[in-house]
Amino acid sequence: MGQSVIVMGMVLSAMPVNEYDKRITILTKERGKITAFARGARRPGSQFMAATDPFAFGEFELFEGKSSYNLMKATIQNYFRELAMDYDRVTLGFYFAEFAGYFCQENNDEKEMLKLLYQSLRALTNDHIPGELVRAVFELRAIAIQGQGPNVFSCMNCGAKENLCFFSAKRGGLLCRDCAAGLSDPGMQILDSTRYTLQFILATPIAKLYSFTVSDEVLKELQAIMRQYLGFYVHHEFKSLKVSVENDL
Ligand SMILES: [Zn+2]
């Protein structure tokens, strides 16, 4: 027997099905990542039309059937419509949603990821924060939420907390100057401000995560670190990024 449930969450993706319907994936506070069927959502004038678009955040009332959820009602608080004005930023938004969808599961506690996704989309709507910085912050914090983040507080080799000036993706974190000197492949040398930024991103409450900016040098190092790190630990090609790369050519 079915019953109705109310969840708080964000639409990650929407797929057209049948002539007028949509199948949507929602990242929820209560039930992790779920899939719901939105009947008539593509019919002109449907109350579900905008509410089932990616990034729509709010309350969803669902009827829980045997094998799937059906959308009954949606009360949206934020559509993040501003994002649609900027191609690069909306592409990053799709990438964040895809990234969250890739890692999150049904009936799992995904509150932190939902919070991170929401704050990261808000940061994308702020022109004063470079999109590439938002991307690096999101990636680092998201991978840490998944329990696969790098150790940036002590040397991976000796545990020292001082002179941490090398980042080794292979070793999963920072190395001190002495240990790095003895290795043939110590990874990449980084600035003190880059190390401090890595620590800030991993230790600050999500609500305050986007309260800083960095120099171009630090941003370049952060981007290189995340490229290497995700290349090493995430064996998945994200479609939303592939589209944007192709469009750049
Ligand atoms: Zn060391």
pLDDT at 241: 84
Give this prediction's pTM.
Answer: 0.94
pLDDT at 65: 86
Nearest to 178 by CA among 191, 198, 161: 161
**How many residues would you count in the chain?**
249
> How many C-beta atoms surround the C-beta of residue 121 within 10 A?
24
Tokens 């991103």 correspond to 201
Q: How far is the CA of 189 from the centre of ligand 1 (A)?
A: 14
- In order of their start, the domains of the chain are 3-79 (2.40.50.140), 82-150+183-248 (1.20.1440.120)
Nearest to 167 by CA among 197, 142, 143: 197
The CA-atom distances, in angstroms, between 111 and each of 30, 46, 120, 223 are 8, 29, 14, 26
pLDDT at 249: 44
Nearest to 223 by CA among 133, 152, 96: 133
Mean pLDDT by 10 residues, the chain (249 residues): 90 96 98 96 93 97 91 97 93 97 95 98 96 98 97 97 97 97 96 98 97 96 97 90 60
What sign does the dihedral 132-113-226-194 (CA atoms) show?
A: positive
Q: How far is the CA of 174 from the centre of ligand 1 (A)?
A: 9
pLDDT at 244: 58
pLDDT at 243: 65
Q: How far is the CA of 149 from the centre of ligand 1 (A)?
A: 19
Q: How far is the CA of 216 from the centre of ligand 1 (A)?
A: 28
Q: How far is the CA of 190 from the centre of ligand 1 (A)?
A: 15
pLDDT at 103: 96
Percent of the residues in the chain that have a pLDDT greater than 90, as a whole number: 90
Q: How far is the CA of 136 from the centre of ligand 1 (A)?
A: 25
Q: How far is the CA of 139 from the centre of ligand 1 (A)?
A: 26
> How many C-beta atoms surround the C-beta of residue 171 within 10 A?
20
| Residues whose beta carbons lie less than 5 angstroms from ion ligand 1 | 155, 157-158, 160, 176, 179
Q: Are strands 188-189 and 3-17 parallel, antiparallel or unpaired?
A: unpaired
Neighbouring residues of 245: CB distance < 8 A, sequence distance ≥ 6: none
Q: How far is the CA of 148 from the centre of ligand 1 (A)?
A: 21
Contact 165, 195 (CB under 8 A): yes
